[in-house]
């Protein structure tokens, strides 16, 4: 589905929410920077790729959320992975082609994709 409006993005988000209905707040979080800087840099496409990859893999207990600008505009699109009990990792300059590797390596297997990391808290 092509994203042509904010309403299209909301529909994709709701579809993913329903597909992962077993998720909960204490599980893993994927956070996409969706401020104007992120959107201009391609964050909508990255968000769609994340939702598609999670759905394709049937991954449960994951919250996919969005946030506004966090001040690293030059590194957009930004994607944070927050796994319970582990540091928050921020990936920068993420393209849709990077999403399968981030999901497979970090989200599923717990291995940080070091060449894309811009911050680790």
Domains defined for the chain, CATH in brackets: 23-120 (3.40.30.10)
Bridge partners (DSSP) of residue 119 are 90
> pLDDT by residue (tens digit) across 51-83?
999 999 999 889 999 999 888 999 999 999 999
Question: Two tokens at 16?
Answer: 């993913």
Question: pTM score, two decimals?
Answer: 0.78
> Within 13 Å, how many C-alpha atoms sit on residue 51's CB side?
23
Instruction: Print the SS3 string covering 7-62.
Output: HHHHHHHHHHHHHCCCCCCCCEEEEEECCHHHHHHCHHHHHHHHHHHHHHHCCCCE
> pLDDT by residue (tens digit) across 8-57?
888 877 776 665 544 445 589 999 999 999 999 999 999 999 999 999 99
């Amino acid at each position: 589905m092509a994203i042509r409006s904010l309403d299209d993005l909301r529909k994709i988000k709701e579809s993913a929410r329903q597909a992962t209905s077993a998720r909960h707040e204490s599980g893993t979080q994927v956070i996409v920077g969706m401020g104007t800087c992120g959107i201009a840099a391609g964050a909508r496409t990255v968000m769609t790729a994340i939702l598609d990859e999670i759905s394709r893999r049937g991954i449960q207990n994951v919250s996919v959320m969005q946030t506004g600008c966090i001040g690293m505009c030059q590194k957009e699109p930004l994607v944070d992975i927050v796994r319970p009990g582990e540091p928050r990792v921020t990936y920068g300059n993420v393209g849709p082609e990077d999403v399968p590797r981030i999901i497979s390596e970090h989200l599923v297997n717990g291995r940080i994709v070091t060449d894309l990391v811009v911050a680790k808290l």
